[in-house]
Amino acid sequence: MAINDNELSRLDSYGLAELIRAGELSPTEAVQASIDRIEELDGALNAVVTKRFERALEDAAGDIPDGPFKGVPFILKDLWTSSADEPMHLGNKALKEINYISPVESDLARRYREAGFIVVGRSNTPEFGLVGTTEPESYGPSRNPWNTDYGTGGSSGGAAAAVAAGMVPSANASDGGGSIRIPAAMCGLVGLKPSRGRVPMGPMQEEWGLSIQHVVCHSMRDAAGILDATAIPTMGDGVVAPTHGQPYINQVGIEPGQLKIGIWNKSPRDDLDLHPDCQQLTQEAGEMLEKMGHTIEEAHPSVLDDPAIAGRFSAIWMAGANLTLKNLSKLLQREVTANDVEIGTWLMAQVGARTSGLEVLQAQADMGAMRRSTLKWWENGWDLLLTPTTLVPPPPIGELVSTEDEPMRNSLRSIPYAAFTSPFNATGQPAISLPTGFSSEGLPIGVQLVAAYGREDLLIQVGSQLEAELQWGRNRAPIHA
C-alpha cells in the first residue's frame, strides 16, 4: 500500500472506491487498514461492538460483487440490518449474553453487499435504538471523537463516532426520530434521512413506520451515491417512494436555481429552550443561502406548532417499545423479564402495553392528518425548510442515562435533541443534517434542511452548495487516524 494511512482515512467512500478500481489499493489492503484503525482508536471511543475482521478479510480476498463501492470497508448498525449467520444484539444485554445469531440477511444489508461494501463490524447503539444517546448497559457509552467527555447522540452514535474518527468512510445508520441526523450533527457529519419507502426495510421492519435507514458520512457524494445503490425496492416493500431526481449522484453540484426557503429558528415547544449556539449557526446558514441567491423568510408549517403532536408520537413510540419486547421474547425463545432490559426500556414498554389499539389507531390517524397539513406548506410554494438539527449541543457522557431515581431520564432528556427532527419521521419527508459549524465549546452542531416528500434531489443540490462553500470535509476530529 503506497498511500499514507492518514490520507487513506480521510477519503470518502467514493474516493476509496476510485483507488481500488484504479488498482492503487487492493480490497484486502483497504479492509486491513480499516481494521488497524478500529483496533487503534476504538478503545477510546467504543464505537464498534462486534468485530468481523476475519470474515471481512476473507470477503476482501474473495469474489466481491462488482458494485460502485467494491472493496470499501463499511460498518452496520447493530439493530435490524443483519448479516446472515452473524451476531445481532440490538444494544440489549440479554441478546449479548446468548450471542444471538441472526438467521437472515436483511434486504438493506444485501443491497450494501451487492454495492461491493465489505462489513468489518457492527456499531454501538442504545438498546433497540429507543433514545437519543448511545450509552447502553450492554456495551457502555460511545464517546465523541471531538471530545470524549461528551456523547455522540443516538441512536446511530457508534456509527457516527466510527466515521468521524476515520475508522470507515461511511456507516449504516437508521432514523426513527432523528437517529441519523442527531449523531451526524454531534459528530460533524452529513446525515441524510431519506423519504419513507426510499430504501427496503424488510424482512424484520416495515417501510410505513417511523424509521428509515441510510448512512452517516463526510460528503454529499457519498450521501447521494450510497442512496442510489440502496434505493432499490423489493417485491415485498409496503411503501415505495417516487423516483424523482434519480440517480442522486447526478444531483451533486447541480445548481438548484433560486429556491424559496423558510427558516424556523425558534424552539418548537414552549417548555424547551433553543441554545444560542444552535440558533446562531442556523441564522448564519440562512444568511449564507441568501447570499447564494435563495429567498429566505421566517416561516414554517403552522400545524407543527400543535403541542399535541408530541403525545401522538409518544403513543406510537411506546406501543412500538412494547412490540419490541414481544419480538425480543421470540429471539430469546422465552418470556422477557425486567432483568433482560434497561429500566427505561421496560417502563416504555409498560406504557405501551397500557396504550389501547384504538389509541394507537387514533394517533396514526391524527399524524396522517398532520402529514397532509404539513405538506400543504410545500405545495403552497415553499421549497425547503431550514432549522437547527438539535435544540442544544452534545451532552456530557452520563447526562442522558437513566437512574433509579429517574428511570425515564434517557427518554425524557432526549426530547431536546429530537424536537426538530421527529416531526419529519411522522410525515415521512426527507431531511438532512449538515455539519456547518461548532458550538462555543468547540463541539460540532448542525443545521437541518427538510424537503417535500420524495425530493432528496433538492437536499443534495443545496447541501452540495453549502459543502462547496464550507469545505467541511477538511475538518477532522482530534481523535482520528
Sheet holding 73-77, edge to edge: 48-51, 118-123, 73-77, 170-175, 212-217, 190-193, 431-438, 444-451, 384-388, 260-263, 295-298
Question: Phi/psi class of residue 71: alpha, beta or left (left: φ > 0; alpha: ψ in -120 to 50)?
Answer: left
Please tell me whether residue 32 adopts helix, strand or coil conformation.
helix
Q: Which residues contact 240 (CB under 8 A, 6 or more apart)?
A: 197, 207, 233
Q: What is the pTM of this model?
A: 0.97
pLDDT for 202: 96
Active site residue 77: yes
For the stretch 330-357, pLDDT in tens is: 999 999 999 999 999 999 999 999 999 9
How far is residue 113's CA from residue 341's CA, in Å, rounded to a whole number? 31
Cell of 439: 458550538
How many C-beta atoms surround the C-beta of residue 224 within 10 A?
A: 28
Amino acid occupying residue 441: E
Which amino acid, one-letter code, is at 149? D
Cα–Cα distance, 193 to 206 (Å, whole number): 16
Which residues share a beta bridge with 51?
121
Nearest to 117 by CA among 83, 91, 85: 83
Quickly count: other Cβ atoms within 10 Å of residue 412's Cβ. 14
Cell of residue 57, nine digits = 478479510
Residue 481 has what pLDDT? 82
SS3 content of the chain, % helix, strand, coil (to 5): 40, 15, 45
Using DSSP bridges, classify how beta strands 118-123 and 73-77 pair: parallel, antiparallel or unpaired.
parallel
Q: Of residues 82, 83, 142, 155, which has the active-site annotation?
A: 155
3 state SS of 77: strand
**What size, in residues, is the chain?**
481
The low-confidence residues of the chain, meaning pLDDT below 50, are none
Query: Which domains occur in the chain, in start order?
Result: 5-474 (3.90.1300.10)
Spot the catalytic one: 77, 402, 411, 422.
77
Q: What is the pLDDT of residue 2?
A: 57
> Which residue type occupies 237?
D
Query: Cell 437512574, residue?
Result: 403
User: What's the start-to-end Cα distance of the chain, in Å?
Assistant: 16
Under a CB-based contact definition with an 8 Å cutoff, are residues 265 and 279 in contact? yes
The candidate with the shortest Cα–Cα distance to 281, out of 181, 393, 178, 424, is 393
C-alpha cell at 468: 462547496
The pLDDT value given to residue 377? 98
List 123, 179, 314, 402, catalytic entry: 179
Dump pLDDT digits (tens) for 202-218: 999 999 999 999 999 99
Please tell me the distance from the alpha carbon of residue 89 to that of residue 45, in angstroms, as a whole number: 19
Measured distance CA(329)–CA(324) in Å, rounded: 9
Is-contact 443 146, C-beta < 8 A? yes
Q: How far is it, in rounded angstroms, from Cα 128 to Cα 92? A: 7
